[in-house]
Structure 1
Amino acid sequence: MQRNHTTLTILYTSDVHGHAMPISYGTNQPASIGLARYATAVKSTRSSREQVLVLDNGDLIQGTPLMTHYVKSHTDKENPMIGIMNQIGIEASVIGNHEFNFGKGILNNAIDQSRFPWLSANTLDKTSQEPYYGPPYIIKTLNNGVKAAIVGVTTHYIPNWESPAHIEGVQFADAFSTLKKQVEEIRSKERPDVLIAMYHGGFERDLESGEPTEELTGENQGYQMAMEIDGIDVLLTGHQHRKLTNFLRDVLVVQPGNNAQNYGEIQIELEQQDGKWTITDKQASLQPLKDVEAAPEILDYMEEMETSTQGWLDQPAGYIDGDMTIADPLKARLAKHPFIEFIQNVQMEASGADISVTSLLNNNSTGFSSVVTMRDIVANYMYPNTLVVLELTGADILAALEKSAEYFMLDENGEITVNPDYVEPKPQHYNYDMWEGITYTINVAKPVGSRIEDVRYQGEPLEENRTYKVVLNNYRASGGGNYIMFQHKPVVKEIQKDAVALIYGYFEKYGTVKAKATRNFTVIAES
């Protein structure tokens, strides 16, 4: 009996977040990231392997100053992330939640420019109930007649984060139930030899123990998908920026991190007997791009846009009188820091509200030195957030403060440190909020849920039944970070300019800003 053997190689990226170039824009230093390096890796793999599928798992077009500058100044040109993926020649991508951040026009143009389909079986047209952006799946017939099905779904939690105008007309069906139905139909109708599920979402449970690792909101359903849907051979995930390969039952699960620092490489061994291909082995690895040279053709393609971006980043935007730099991010969260007060002032002036909420977005933020360039602004505020003014009750504010207070814990020496839930599996420092316009104390020695003490507004105790106007970014205003107390609250005003534009406008108005910190909150540990 004659038996044929073949190997299918899958390369995939996820959460590239606008990283085309091998550079860190905040420091302008070379970095081992980006699609320019990845293009070289793909070319090399294709030259040495018989059958290669190249895929992307979403969150492609947003996340760097390059893409912010493109959206602000160069939308008459091809979206650079799409142009690069076209040159790489990927087979398909999946809609990610950050694809919506720049609005429907930018996303629609990106899809129109793509020479590959965007898969998302559960993002539906509200009227027709058909997939909104592209087919739910594709079939690729490879060498030796191997038939591979690729199906895509997207985290359906997007309405909890995104501006309503950006997702108007789109319905987000449950990702798990949609994928289950699609897999059953594909197996029955198409009878593929390999079924690859792409999910822009992550894992809600520990892969070893099965214990929940987050509140089971539906944002991440990867564990349930692998454990409860029969017929998936490989589950490609993302969204959480984790680096992992593992098996759940017989499903090979992968997640390759973010910013194109690594890519996933999956090897599927197949054997043909009596005309039917059967998978005999499957393995995955994460491949770093550290020692991979950037592809010259991608660097040439990007030269004009990159030059324009660098010029924009180096423009002085304003000046600081005093010290607004951040040396220790934990200290900047334990007591009022001048940089945080600056962001609060920008938000309150733009909105007219006298209570403001913001956060130090990550531990790489360095604040502002004496001369502030656009590079400094986008390095410290890397998300295209807009602002929303909500009408909140005092009870809502207290609940939100208690939620923020979960960020801290005491170590074995009784010192205040960061709750590891905000560090692993994905850093979420942006989910600790600091407030302006009220005074309050967080007592970390008290149990979670009862840590907030002595909250005052204009010197008087906060009243639980009174309403207050509060400005915060659109992610938080929609309940992002499990701040459910903000969901479905009356919207007083929306400010459509994004944070970078608001900060730049603040400097345009005032020129030089004095660094100061009015201490309105304290974090203590007193039994």
Structure 2
Amino acid sequence: MDYIKRRLITLNQNNIVNVNILLTSDIHGAVYPIHYQNNEKAELGLAKVATQIAQERANNDHVLVIDNGDFIQGTPFTYYYAKYMRNEENPMSIIANHIGYDAAIIGNHEFNYGMDVLNKAVAYANMPYLAANIMNKQTKKPYFGKPYIIKHIHPDIKIAVLGVTTHYIPNWEQPHHIKDLLFENALEATRQWVTYIHEQEQPHVLIVAYHGGFECDLQTGEPTEILTGENQGYAMCQEIEGIDILLTGHQHRYIAHEKVNSVTVLQTGSNGRSLGKVHVTLIKKQNQWMIKECYSELLPIEGIPADRAVLSLVSAYEQQTQEWLDKPIGTIAGDMLIHDAMETRLRDCAFIEFINKVQTDVTGANISCTSLFHNESSGFPNEITMRDIVSNYIYPNTLKVVRVTGKDIKEALELTAEYFSLDPDGNIIVNPAYIEPKPQHYHYDMWEGISYILNISKPVGERVVSLQYEEAPLHLDQEYDVVMNNYRASGGGNYVMFQNKPIIKDIQIDISELIANYILERKTIKATTNYNWKVVK
């Protein structure tokens, strides 16, 4: 009887297999568990995630590890490498190889440092980079090689991983960075490849790893954003048969324990604040493997120690980054600190005026616009270092001077005014659409070279109640040259009025570098505010 019982247990064990898919996404170059603006400890970073991944591998037999994009860009650590150490191996690839990813997906920010940096990162990585809808313009084949991979588990279980990337990249990225590429519609490419994979490979589990997010509420299907096509996750679940798991990213949302049209979905936030996990149980019935159970969860990394081997592998990169960050640049005479992010967006302040001043000085344009990118921006202290600059201007943007009409400027201001709404008590608040599902503070612009008033009590589209240029009403049919970052000039943030407008000047130097050069040349900068704009109710 004991022999029969043991044999039945063995048979049952052989007929059930558990597979765990681990997901990182939107790491954005965060390796060390610190905030670079002050080096204070932070509960984030790939070094902590690496410890969690190692623990999962130790506790489970079948583990796949996937990165879902926006991996190599986003911190001073990666910026310094791309600017000053690019002849060395990419530190993010070194870490990825140490962790042992099974696959990685191309994200939109992978292109920010140019194709040389990206191609080198891909070439050095041990795992394949998947992007089925990013095509070589010449060959019309996937630029990064494999559109999907097949992983064999136990040993007759086949798991397919298809990689796709938001096709909206040409609306954001500098054209010369992507001149050899074509971006096919992610939804249509996914539809075609899912069909192909099922026909040719007949996998037991099909995973779509999509560097994109959800355009609709997961429960109601109601649109949660302007349907530009940037995010198509909901449509993928609803319209494409044969997807078992949809891994998402791009939006920096935390999504787990959810299904959309029976598809298990997952999204892990950003900067390595959590590790995503999908648990799949397969059972063998009538000699055929089938999914018995599939669910997603988020594993927090709070309290998890950093992997010392990861930190050691890239310590030389980090040391040089820290030395560069502490390099003195100049001094500020007066107050250029950000005391309150909301107040900064309600009325002109010295920090925003200074950024616009740099942009107009560099380009010779009379009108400029810029953003306060995130609510953690602290502005500039009296003694400025590179750390202060890159902590406030966090994107590797460049400048473009765009020729637009007065009508375009007014439409842009009406769009930027949508950032605000009124609460039931009549107080000005941030429009919830700019906070959920993803914070988008960088879509609110503040202008110099014109004078304007936005009245938030007015209906949307009628909030620009005063608009002047050189102390006279701005002429809607007249043309003006405006300097803005390359993201906005391409129409990023739904500023379609700037798309396809004449580019009068294109400055191919990172704005953070332009700011540093401006201060270095002058040594001391006086904080000034001319109060040329304000927001009222």
Q: TM-score range by the shorter chain?
A: over 0.9
Q: Look up the match of 2:215.
A: 204
CA distance in 2, matches of 1:377, 1:161: 22
The SS at the match of 2:198 is helix
Q: Look up the match of 2:331.
A: 319
Quick check: 1:114 aligned with 2:125? yes
Quick check: 1:360 aligned with 2:372? yes
CA distance in 1, matches of 2:118, 2:331: 35
CA distance in 1, matches of 2:330, 2:440: 29
Q: CA-to-partner distance for each residue in 1:105-129, whole Å, 9 max, x for gaps?
A: 1111111111111101000011221
CA distance in 1, matches of 2:338, 2:489: 26
Which of 29, 36, 39 pairs up with 1:25? 36
CA distance in 2, matches of 1:202, 1:139: 24
Q: CA-to-partner distance for each residue in 1:461-489, whole Å, 9 max, x for gaps?
A: 11111110000001111011111111111
CA distance in 2, matches of 1:97, 1:411: 35
Q: Look up the match of 1:286.
A: 298
Q: CA-to-partner distance for each residue in 1:276-317, whole Å, 9 max, x for gaps?
A: 210000111101111111111111112111111111111111
Which of 259, 262, 284 pairs up with 1:272? 284
Which of 135, 145, 150 pairs up with 2:146? 135
Number of residues of Structure 1 aligned to a counterpart in Structure 2: 525
CA distance in 1, matches of 2:142, 2:505: 32
Q: Write the letter of the residue equivalent to 1:112.
A: A
Q: Write the letter of the residue equivalent to 2:319.
A: T
* Residue correspondence of structure 1 range 98-177 to structure 2 within 5 A: 98-177=109-188
CA distance in 2, matches of 1:244, 1:349: 44
Do 2:454 and 2:466's aligned partners in 1 also have CA atoms closer than 8 Å? no
The SS at the match of 1:43 is helix
Do 2:328 and 2:385's aligned partners in 1 also have CA atoms closer than 8 Å? yes
Q: Which consecutive residues of structure 2, in runs of 5 or more, have no partner in the other structure?
A: 1-7
Q: Look up the match of 1:49.
A: 60
CA distance in 2, matches of 1:134, 1:388: 33
Which of 95, 100, 104 pairs up with 1:84? 95
* Deviation of 1:273 (Å): 2.2
The SS at the match of 2:298 is strand
| Farther off after superposition, 151-160 or 406-415 | 406-415
Quick check: 1:16 aligned with 2:22? no
User: What TM-score, normalized to structure 1?
Assistant: 0.99
Q: CA-to-partner distance for each residue in 1:321-356, whole Å, 9 max, x for gaps?
A: 011111111110110010000100111111110100
CA distance in 2, matches of 1:244, 1:43: 23
| Farther off after superposition, 457-466 or 191-200 | 457-466
* Deviation of 1:275 (Å): 2.6
* Deviation of 1:274 (Å): 3.0
* Deviation of 1:263 (Å): 1.1
* Deviation of 1:73 (Å): 1.1
Q: Look up the match of 2:383.
A: 371
* Deviation of 1:134 (Å): 2.4
Q: Look up the match of 1:39.
A: 50
Which of 307, 318, 327 pairs up with 1:295? 307
Q: Look up the match of 1:221.
A: 232
CA distance in 2, matches of 1:168, 1:110: 19
Q: Look up the match of 2:4.
A: none
Quick check: 1:435 aligned with 2:428? no
Instruction: Calculate percent identity across the aligned residue pairs.
Output: 50
Q: Write the letter of the residue equivalent to 1:517.
A: T
Q: Look up the match of 1:250.
A: 262
The SS at the match of 1:177 is helix
* Residue correspondence of structure 1 range 462-481 to structure 2 within 5 A: 462-481=474-493
Q: Look up the match of 2:3.
A: none
Q: Look up the match of 2:462.
A: 450
Q: Write the letter of the residue equivalent to 2:144.
A: Y
Q: Write the letter of the residue equivalent to 2:376.
A: N
CA distance in 2, matches of 1:67, 1:516: 33
Q: Look up the match of 1:505.
A: 517
CA distance in 2, matches of 1:477, 1:310: 32
| Runs of 4+ that moved beyond 6 A | none
The SS at the match of 2:362 is helix
CA distance in 1, matches of 2:343, 2:43: 30
The SS at the match of 1:340 is helix
Quick check: 1:485 aligned with 2:473? no
* Deviation of 1:40 (Å): 1.1
Q: Write the letter of the residue equivalent to 1:459.
A: E
